[in-house]
Every structure is written in structure tokens, then in C-alpha cells.
A and B are shown apart, each in its own frame.
Chain A
Amino acid sequence: MSKINIKLRDPNEVMKLSRLGSFHQSKLSFLRSFIREFKDWEYKRNIFKLDKGGYGVAVYSFEKNKRNYSLICFSQYINPNERSDRVIATKWDTAFVLHDGAPTQEDINRLKENVPKQEIGRMSYKELTLSRANKSVRVFDHVVNSLSEGKQPDRNLLNKVGYLYRTTAVYGSGKFGLADRFRIKNRKEVYGPFRLEMMLVYLVRQFTFDQVNHIAKNKNPDKAVQLDENIARSLGIGNSTGLGMAPFIVNHPTLLHKWIYSREKALKEIRSIKVVNNDEFIFFKNCLTKSKAIIGTWLTDSEYQNKKINSLKSDLIKFDKFIEKDCSIKIKYLWNTIYLWVEKNLNEECVEYIVSMMMEPYDKIIDPLINNMSSEEERYFSIPGHRKISELKIILEKKYQSIIKINFKEKNSITNFWFISKNKEEPRVANRYEEQGAELEQPLAIARDIKQLYERILKTNQSKTVADFLLNNDDLRHVVRRAFITDQFPYSEIQDNTIGASLMPIDMLRLKLSFFGAVKFDPRSDKWLRINMYQGAPLSHELKNSDDTWIYNSLN
């Protein structure tokens, strides 16, 4: 067989919300790339001043070549009726901040006054990320009680929940006084996106283990045992995620492109491998086997998600048969054969699952892509005003093919609107025919506005420049900018209507969370979901010798 020409997948298909909402974690995910980057840093627990109930201050750090990042944890008692995962909560069991360097006592005192207040506190340029978490009370109490009685906790219960604590937000990049991204962007170790957010969550996980061990020991000093490391390893950190993530991916088009493009480039390169060796194929099959065992722990009451999980399970049965019967390393371009079969015979949920799995054997393909997953949006912000309207028309017809076919005169096409809530300054989506405030709509109805732009330029002299057009049409300036960005970055735009009646906002959340490396998607409505991060990850003292397939070990 001669060399075949595999192309990148068409953005018009990949960037549909149903497809993006079927993405799974992969070797490109930020949790995994964080561990690869920081595994040889020196981990330390610097301060651990908790009282018998587990309340107080702790500091953890990663250090290498005189660079130090320190997590400062503040744990406090809260009344059970004050505990809420909603972003509108004002008290949390624990609050965390990642500090740039080793904090002085003065820093800790300052942060103690601010970090537990979260959004209404103020951080400084020396702080990098901020978060808070609540206990999963049922699991936390069970673990503490079991350990204090000298027993290990019930694994079945732990597997159902998967964590001791749930974070409800992780902030970074200049929010609430935190350091602006530009201050640290040239540090090689944080080239990968959200790397410091990932560090915070990893260290929080370690704190949760230390805290349960500490409380159990104080509760019953003679009898208490430490949490078994195999159990600890199988626990992650939960997260409740709401709509805040959805505008993020619309407002960072070139960043979105970089993420998706990396995935697509990886797939293209893997499909282009002519000869797959036995080790690679076995590695793939092993990861698949281990991963499939975990799907049984993806528990949710969401009908939407259960449908997806069931579709995945039944497709994987078909896939197993195909692999067993029709696949062998004797086949040239085996991955391409597999991919074409998968795309033809399976649903999107499983297609994207297999795409993630196909990356597993290929460090040499994935590693170079990781450092190209950040972007500086401002570099692409200026509109090329000298370009002609005829050129803009071609871009719209080529890059927004399906969007310009949508009829936005239909009520169902514009049912929803995005807005920022006054009480918490958080993004929300609402039905424009039932709720007030549509006149304050955020510029997130990209498909509708692109269609409007297209209709308007059809009536415009095609030889005019874009600058001339904008003099009288500045209400569409935001989408003119996007069109030129999309022309350069084809995976920068969601190719769907983000205000239609059938919108599932959680598809947008899942896209982002899959790149984080989250698992166990558990939608609690169409607007928010719970997930798990770092389940199966190496414990802090195991980092140096850890291997990258830890994500498939969460049942061990």
C-alpha cells in the first residue's frame, strides 16, 4: 500500500456541540500533562497546623531549581446548613490559594483574612490560583470513623462517590487580585494551559488524605490506622461545575483552536502510521481494557448522560468484536482502518473515546503538542480593516457553512440568551420569552450574529473594505473579528447555535472538562454537572516513579 494522505477532520463536523460534548480525557489532558511536567519536582508538606477537628492551616509545595509554588490551605468549621456547592455560597469547609514562592508568616496572615472569603477577599500578584471545597460529608465522616476504629473504609461506598472533597470553583488569571497571566507566562513549566489550576487541585487532594488521617488519629490515638494507599490513590477531587466555563470557550477562540487542533493533529499523525508494532497495539488494548472497567463506576441519575454511557458500553462491545476479528498489526495503516470503521459504525460518544485511546501508545506524538496548547488571544485581536468585503463573504461561506443556513427568524432558534447575573457576576442562560433581561444579552450568540453579518454583507458593495463596512455596522464588529480569527484558526468556533431551544450547555462544559482530564461526568441538570479529577493519580511520594496511564488505575 502506498502512503496515504490522511487529512485533519473537518471543523464543521468536529466543532458541533454534540461531538464536542462527547470528548473524553486523553494523554493531552491537563491533569496528565501536569503530572508529567511536575513529577520530578520536590514535593513537601511544609506546615500542618490543624487542631483535633482538622481545622487550621497547612502549606504544601513543589520546588525545583529555586522555583517554588506553595498551596496554602485554610480549613474551618462550618454549620452543616451553611454548606452549599452553589457559586452563591459564602462559606466553605476549606479554602485554598496557590502562592508564588514560599509564603512568609506575614503572607499567611494576610491570606487567612482573604482566602476563606473567596470572591469578596482580595489576593495579590503573588497568588496564582484560588479555590474552595466542601466535604462530601457522608464519605468524609465514614472514612474518619472507619480509620479511627482501626478499619479501612468501605471501598464500594468510596467508589460510588470517588472523593472526600468537592471544589466548586478554581480561579486564576487576574481574578480577585490574583496574578495576571502575563506575569508567569514565560515560565516553561506552566506553558501547558491551566497548569497551576491543576497543581492546586492535585495538592488539595493530598491535603484531604492528610486531614482524614489527622482527624482519625486525634479521635482515637491508640486504635486509628492510616488510610490505605491503594484506597487513597483511587480517590480524586470532585468538582461542581456550572455555566462559567461555557463563555470561556467562546471568549478564547484561539485557545480553543489550539486544544482541538492538538487533538486533531494527534489523530491525523496516528492514523498516518503505516506499521503499528505489537507493543503499541498491546498497550492500546491494555489501556482500553482497564478503562472499560472504570466505566461501570460512572454513576449518574441524568437520563441524558445515562443514554450516552449506555451507547458507549454497547458500542464498545461491537468494537471489541471488531478488534478481535478484523484487526491485526499485519494491516498497514491499522489505526486508520480502525478509525474509519469506528466513525462508520459507532456513535460519537464512542468514536471520541476510541480517539482518546489511540493516543495512549504515542508519547512521541503527544508530548510535542502539549506545549502548543496555550495561546495569546491579543495577538489575533486586531481586525484587518484593509481586507475587502468580498473576502469576508468567502470566509463566512467557507468557515460557517452550517451556521449561515440556520433560520434565526424561527422562535426556537433564539430561545435562549446568555447574561451575567447581578448578584454573583456569573454567566447564566435563560429563556428570552420567559425571563427578563434579554436586552442585556452577552455577545455569545455567535451563530445568530454571524448570520446577521452574512445577510448584511450580501447587501454591501463587495469591493468595499472591512474598515468602511464597520463605520456603519459596528454592532457586528465582534463577529467580524471572530470571522477573521476563524479563517486562521479553523477549530476556534463552535459550529452550532448556542442560543437555540435544543441547546445543552453541559456539552460546552464537557468539552472543557475533558481537556482538563475530568472523568465521571454526572450532569445534575442541563446547566451544571459534577466530575472527578485525579482519581487513580499517584500519591505525592509516588510522583517520581509514576507512569502516565495512572488514570486507568482508579479501581486498583
Chain B
Amino acid sequence: MITFSEIETTTKRASKAAGFSWGVAEEIGKSIRSLELFGLPGIINLNQYLKKIKKKHPAKITKIEKENKTDDKELCPIYSGVAFLDRCLELEKLKSLKFYNVNYPLLMLPFISRASEIMSKKILVQFDNSNFLLNFDKSIFSKNIEKQTQSKAKVVNIEFIENKNSFSEQDWKELYKLSEETFVDESDDLKKTAAGAGLTDND
């Protein structure tokens, strides 16, 4: 079995050889390692993508807005992902973003996943029928991945999920009530000697 350390080193070197700078290649190495750790097909997608751009290196993204598209060009998942990651804190206010015509969209995921950790927010990513819930770079919950590689997504939707409970008030109350059964009733004497007792708080 190829180890994660080997995956990181080799994908970094391969990405440099494919024309990315060392700094971006380092990001790619970490990202593919991360995808594979999460059980997603990073190696296959990167290999296909690097073959695709062998003859013509993709254009760099020059800015990130709510809607990102170019008239006749395809977006590079690496440059889009890196740019997204670098400015994730300022993008938060947009609540959601769209990237159009993204090559090998799965390769964007690890950058957004790292952004989720930096922002302390879950992020939902959707392209075509595939959905990914990115949880603070700790896990990726995925649904409807139709095939291992997807060479292009017409639209990649990114939505920042507000920090809110995933359960009802009622569920919480019921569980809390049950947890109370681990508590012990305190006697009056003990209450008198607990922290802060017997002192004036106006001294």
C-alpha cells in the first residue's frame, strides 16, 4: 500500500513538474493526502487533471467574487481552491459562492475543507448531483458521488453553513433531563460550605 507520506511527496513533485510553483505544489501535496485520508479519490483525479493541463497550463484566477466565471475558459480547481482558501475569512460575508466550468471539481474540496477549519464553519459543496458537507477539516460527509472522476462541473456551489444546532429543542431537553440522573442532591450543610459561601462579595 502506498503511504500517505508517499502520496504527499509524490503529488507535490508531480505538481511542480506539471508547472505549478513549489508553494502551490506543497498545497496540492497536502490536499491530495487529505482527500485520500478522507477516502476520496484524490490520486485519480489529480493524475487525470495533470495530464489534461500538460500541454497548456491553466490560467490563474485573478479575483474571487460571488459568481466566478470566465467567458470561454475553464476554471482550474487548484488555483480556485488556493485562492478561496487564502481569502476565506473575507468571503464568509458572501454566504455562498458559485464557480462555473470547474475542471476536476473534486480537487477543490480539500482547500475548502481547510477553509472550513479556519472559519470554524461547516461548508456545503455541491456540483451536479454530488453533495459534500465539510466539517472543520475533520471529516467530509458525501452523498451521491456518481463516479470516481468527474472531468468538469458546470457549477460548483459553495455555501457557508451558519453555526446552529442540528437537532430540535425537544431532543436536547429530553437528553438533558436524562443526564440529570447522574447528579446528586446537595444537603443544606454542604451548600453552606461550597465555593464563595460565607463571604461577602462586597469586600
A466 contacts partner chain B, Cβ-Cβ < 8 Å: yes
Selected from B62, B83, B87, B118, the residue in CB contact (under 8 A) with A382 is B118
Chain A positions 99-140 with a Cβ under 8 Å from a chain B Cβ: 124-125
Residues of chain A contacted by B86 (CB below 8 angstroms): 383, 385, 466-467, 470
* Per-residue interface assignment for chain B, residues 1 to 14, with 1 indicating a CB less than 8 Å from any chain A CB and 0 otherwise: 11111100000010
Contacts of A467 in B (CB 8 A): 83, 86-87, 90
Q: Are B87 and A465 in contact (CB under 8 A)?
A: yes
A-contact 0/1 string along B59-99, CB 8 Å cutoff: 01111000000000000000000110111111000000000
- Those of A347-397 within 8 Å (CB) of chain B: 378, 381-383, 385-386
Q: Is A475 an interface residue (CB 8 A)?
A: yes
Expressed in whole angstroms, the minimum distance between the Cβ of A50 and any Cβ of chain B is 31
The number of residues on chain A lying at the interface, defined by a beta carbon within 8 Å of a beta carbon of chain B, is 32
Contact yes or no, B90 A386, CB < 8 A: yes
B198 within 8 A of partner (CB)? no
Report B201 CB to chain A, min CB distance, Å: 36
Residues of B within 8 A of A478 (CB): 21-23, 26
Picked from A382, A470, A475, A476, the residue with its CB within 8 Å of the CB of B114 is A382
Contact B83 A471, beta carbon cutoff 8 Å: yes
Give Cα A478–Cα B25 distance, bound, in whole angstroms: 9
Contact with B along A465-489 (1 / 0, CB 8 A): 1110011001111111100000000
Give the CA-CA distance A443 to B21 in the complex, in Å: 10
B161 within 8 A of A: no
Q: Give B78 Cβ to nearest chain A Cβ, in Å.
A: 10
Tell me, yes or no, whether B30 is within 8 Å of chain A by CB: yes
CB-CB < 8 A to A177: which residues of B? 1-3, 6
Q: Are A471 and B62 in contact (CB under 8 A)?
A: yes
Chain B residues closer than 8 Å to A180, beta-carbon distance = 3-5
Cα distance A178–B5 when bound, in Å? 9
Cβ of A150: which chain B residues have Cβ within 8 Å of it?
none
Chain B binding surface SS class: helix
Q: Which of B100-130 contact A (CB under 8 A)?
A: 114, 118
Alpha-carbon distance A480/B24, docked complex (angstroms): 11
Whether the pair B5, A125 counts as a contact (CB closer than 8 A) is no
On chain A, the residues within 8 Å of B26 by CB distance are 381, 477-478, 481
**What is the bound-complex CA distance between A160 and B118, given in angstroms?**
56
- Per-residue A-contact encoding for B155-173, CB less than 8 Å = 1, 0 else: 0000000000000000000
List residues of chain B with CB within 8 A of the CB of A481.
23, 26
- Asked whether A382 and B85 contact (CB < 8 A) given A474-B60, A478-B22, the answer is yes
- A173: chain B residues at CB < 8 Å are 5
Do A385 and B85 touch (CB < 8 A)? yes
Residues of chain B in range 1-54 having any CB-CB distance to chain A below 8 Å = 1-6, 13, 21-24, 26-27, 30
A527 CB-CB contact with B under 8 Å: no
Which residues from A are CB-within-8-Å of B5? 173-175, 180-181
**Which of A174, A385, A476 contacts B4 (CB under 8 A)?**
A174
Contacts A467-B86, A471-B61 known; A124 to B1 CB distance under 8 Å? yes
Contacts of A383 in B (CB 8 A): 86
List the A residue with the shortest CB-CB distance to B117: A382
Separation of A173 and B60 alpha carbons in the complex (Å)? 34
A173 to B61, CA, bound (A): 36
What chain A residues lie within 8 Å of B85 (beta carbons)? 382, 385
Across the interface, do B24 and A474 meet the contact criterion of CB distance under 8 Å?
A: yes
Contact A378 B30 (CB under 8 A): yes
Q: Which residues of B contact A382 (CB under 8 A)?
A: 85, 114, 118
Which chain A residue has the least Cβ–Cβ distance from B88? A385
Q: What residues on A are CB-neighbors of B82 within 8 Å?
A: 470, 474
Interface residues of chain B, those whose CB is within 8 Å of chain A, are 1-6, 13, 21-24, 26-27, 30, 60-63, 82-83, 85-90, 114, 118
In order of increasing CB-CB distance, the 7 nearest A-B pairs are: A477-B23, A174-B5, A385-B86, A467-B86, A174-B3, A478-B23, A443-B22
Given contacts A477-B27, A478-B26, list 10 more A-B pairs with CB under 8 A.
A125-B1, A177-B6, A178-B3, A385-B86, A465-B90, A467-B83, A471-B63, A478-B21, A478-B23, A481-B26
A selection of 7 A-B contacts at a CB cut-off of 8 Å is: A124-B1, A382-B118, A443-B23, A467-B90, A474-B24, A478-B23, A479-B23
